[in-house]
Structure 1
Amino acid sequence: MLLQGRYRLIKRIGKGGLGKTFLAVDEGQFPPIPCVVQELLYETLKSFEQKAQQQQELGKHPQIPALLSYFQQEQYFYLVQEFVVGTNLAQVVEEEGVFNETQVWQILADLLPVLQFISDRHIIHRNIKPKNIIRRIPPNPKGEANLVIVDFSAAKIVTEVDCLTTENSIGSPEYAAPEQTTGKAVFASDLYSLGVTCIYLLTHISPFDLFDIANSCWVWRDYLINKGHKQQDTKHLRLGKILDQLLQNIVSQRFQSANEVIEAMGMEVKSQKSKIVSQNFPWQYSHTLTGHSAMLSSINALAFSAQGNILASTNDQKNINLWNLNTQKVLASLSGHCQAVKSVAFSPNGKILASASDDKTIKLWQMETLTEIYTLLGHSHAVKSVAFSPDGEILASGSWDKTVKLWNVSTGVQICTLAGHQLHVSSVAFSPQGQILASASYDRTIRLWQISCQKLKNCPCYTLLGILSGHTWAVLTVAFSPDGKILATGSDDNTIKLWEVNTGQLISTLVGHSWSVVGVAFTADGETLISASWDKTVKLWRVSTTEEIVTLSSHTDSVSAVAVSQGQLIATGSKDKTIKLWQLVE
């Protein structure tokens, strides 16, 4: 069978409740190269695309097969993945015999960091077993971990709703944790399956036979070769304790994370995030803004006033709410838009607030009197983003009509239109020096514009400096570093990219979110980047090293907005209808 005119299926190598797996060759390459094709059954194209994005993210880890392509053909959906040359551990134990203690220690050391990588992205594999762990042939030439976890067909992204629902049992019964067999899999379920895998490799006995149902306990030690000798080994006793805790039937008595197991083994936890969290993290949760009629719908946008004492928030109720951060109460609600407000921005002196709406208009508000100054008309579609120039004299707006417009703040007159994007413009931002404007678009690009409006005359006032390409999905948000040297962009491809503004060169791609990145912001000192994602999390990154510092996971639904004040306060807004505040504690 030939798919897409290039992927020829050779033989079926797996079958489960969610589909089939085939060994295939990619005839679109010369010479043809082997690959693995999964044929999956999904109800909707959207659910399949989410699965593909999930696999694309996971495939960035060297011990998980990379996703090469995905597509729909007739009623089936297909994932094309890297073919890993090697032997799965079920075959290894058949051919080479039971594993010794040292080999099992190595399996734990190789696979626990991968499971931590998976769970950090809110994903449960749900089918860890010897057949789905491949030992590379030949070994990794770089001396890195030699085991690869395959078959993510049963994997799922965990949401808060999952705590309230039950699914059908999935995975292999011999290796599945008790809670997984009842449709309630958790992150620790994968650790249980890893523990069962280890005792199978130590004994080459079916896990069903290693569990004493009458006494509800594991009896794997009874099947060890040279049992008496091994029980004298203190190192083996420590391995036994770790395996026993991995195999606890009650979830609360089990290891809760792979990092916990790594620490119990006496190994260093290499995850930067784990190191930082264990120290005194300087950003401390401060308050949740709730309990007002303003919070009856999800938050769309946030902005701090220049003084940092007022927070503006928008929602789908068409109004803008101004919060007094000293009292955590709404001091005023501005109404006038006839559709949802999607962006707000304060002028640098804090005297004017700009709001952009799906009603195709932008409004300027006088903060002293809380009255409307102008309604700016000109866009032919929803306006999704507004930004003031550093001197406060120009307002930029980005719209789904594919254009960016510049406005004279003093007069409300349109100065010029920046055209060139092929799809919706999602976000605009001025550099701190005011000479460059960045615009992000669903066309997967960011455009950098040189702005040179002399005395704000109605004349051509811009030059296209360059187009930044690299994101594989829509670019949703942009932000300049305080010194103007770095541009951060967030995308539907779940990544953040850092660009050197002067050259347009890509500095780094930050990977960690498991869903779209919808907001990015730098702290006032430029040392930290904050990112907000639909995966319900906010992440902090160290700009100098591009390492993830910590994940803030307090929201119960998608995070839709993030803002940072000069006074070092972070505000995050979510579809869970709340705003959360985080204060920097020196």
Structure 2
Amino acid sequence: MSYCLNPSCDQPLNSDGVEFCQSCGIKLIPLLRNRYRIIQPLGGGGFGRTFLAEDEDKLKEYCVVKQLVPQVTGTSALHKATELFREEARRLQQLGEHPQIPTLYAYFREENYLYLVQQLIKGKTLRQELKEQGMFSEDQIWEILSELLPVLKFIHEHQVVHRDLKPENIICRSSQDIDSRNSSTQQANLVLIDFGVAKQLTETSMEHTGTSIGSYGYASMEQMKHGFAYPASDLFSLGATCFYLLTGIPPYHLYMEEGYNWVTHWQEYLPSPISANLQHVLDKLLQKDMNYRYQSADEVLQDVPLQPKQAVVTQGMAVTPLPSRISLKSSVSPKTVIQPQILLPKKILLAGAGAIVLLLGTAGYLLYRQNLPLTGHLSEVNAIAFSPVVGKSASFEAIFASGSDDKTVKLWNLSQRREIRTFEGHSDWVYAVAISPDGLTIVSGSKDKTIKVWNLNTGQEIRTLRGHKSYVNSVAISPDGQTVVSGGYDKIIKVWNLNTGEEIRTLTGHSGEVLSVAISPDNQTIISGSTDDTIKIWNLSTGKEIRTLSNHSSDVNALAISPNGHLLVSASDDKTIKLWNLKTGKQIRTLTGHTADVNAIAFSPNGENVASGSDDKTVKVWNLSTGLAIHTFDKHTAEVFAVAYSPDGKTLVSGSKDNTIRIWHL
């Protein structure tokens, strides 16, 4: 096959022997520089695309080809991208051949594009390792420090600062990837890649502010705020990398919430104890003020033990360290790890998390922790809503909001199972929450008859919407992020401008309290459910009622619309869930299985399943094609009032009268 190198080509693969691309018509280049044959794409970023290629002059040995394709506009930005691409080649050439740095093979221009050819490193990045094996053990962190510090010392001695050290730019070499140049000596396992933003450390660069380049959360304050780059800047990034591998918490998220203040209390995020020695090393690496940080890799190496087997300090006593889950150099597949069933006597629980870790091991402790409910609310949990924007990028994690009778709204990180912040301001129970499509705003409805609009990132109240004469039981935000719809015990529905807080109109027609509202994906329709046993469909733009659905025999507590906008599901005190054709209003089927009122309903992101919560204390997942319950979760000890799917559809979250939030892995 021949690969088209036109960045705009939609179908770049062509048959051998074809002179012009059959998709875009551009002339094909079978061999770059008459030597390198493109095999397949490996990915791309802001400055270029990366390909796997064969070197015809080296018996078709694999290599990596980078093509400069900057996703920028403007002469200045294009010039900067080109210079950074050229700098990567210069740095690789300057550093020569080192077993932990990809070797530069070529740098050239062809057909108006710049290309860089370098050694292929086979393996997985540390970020990929974390996602596959879980959080790293202390022994693994010592091993990482022992392997990365010498290569950082090497590049710093060659007057180069990497400036973008992070798990994505560190490859754990596979056991099959043996460097023939160093076959006579033991080869380091970790390789430092991507020198595209590396900086020459000169007196000029030390004296003058430069361009702020790096990754938020991993880059030091002097680098991001002032453009300075020193060896100590890379050491901060190394500390942030170790923190991420130990905790699974991306430093980017903490930076977005707290700036650089998170480094002052990073120990609070540790899922299990670490030794005092490692805590000292990471604390000094993560100093916000560069003057208090390690100044060189050599300084750090003096604090790294030759035999990285440390005692873990737990509640004032030293104990034998936990074994690593999977060694960086182990060939054992993570899939072979058998997770134990967990039976914990109350005595052990009283000893704290440290004792649990010692008893169960890291894997067992994580499984135990996953089975625990979230217990931050002091009263009933009435509502849950996920941020729609999270989960679309590998660098982001799912977050959700919850509303409670304790008068608060809380924001949670799903994977870390931790509370991010609490929103306080309502004077009575919070019945409903919604998050805007851009993930920046939370809206909550309360028994205090108000709707509050909050800044999700800061926790500050933006405004309060007043107009309902009784409890606000439900809120929804339109998919375009412009409109809020609310339903109340005053039997009316109100439509608001989210950006200004202005009331647009009031919809009347229900003869009972409005318990649920939803907005269709096309921004055209409002759906409402009421204690009058009916569902009403309204035109969002005009406020006119389109039709009424009246097949339920009791209160309609909750509504959800399928992602494609074709289906509607409703949950009722009649113990049933009904599936409707939203366009025609015709009932498709009834789902039965709950033994008490059904309070909550949610569509899965793929539209194939729905989840429900009931007064029977269970959460059920239903297959819409068969109408059968495929999962029943029964760990709640009281009525279930809220359910929501994570954006990737792999997790279900429920809130209950038992004051807890539970996380179910589907």
Specify which structure has the higher proportion of strand.
1
Greater relative contact order, per chain length (Cα 8 Å cut-off, separation 6+): 1
In terms of Rg, which structure is larger? 2
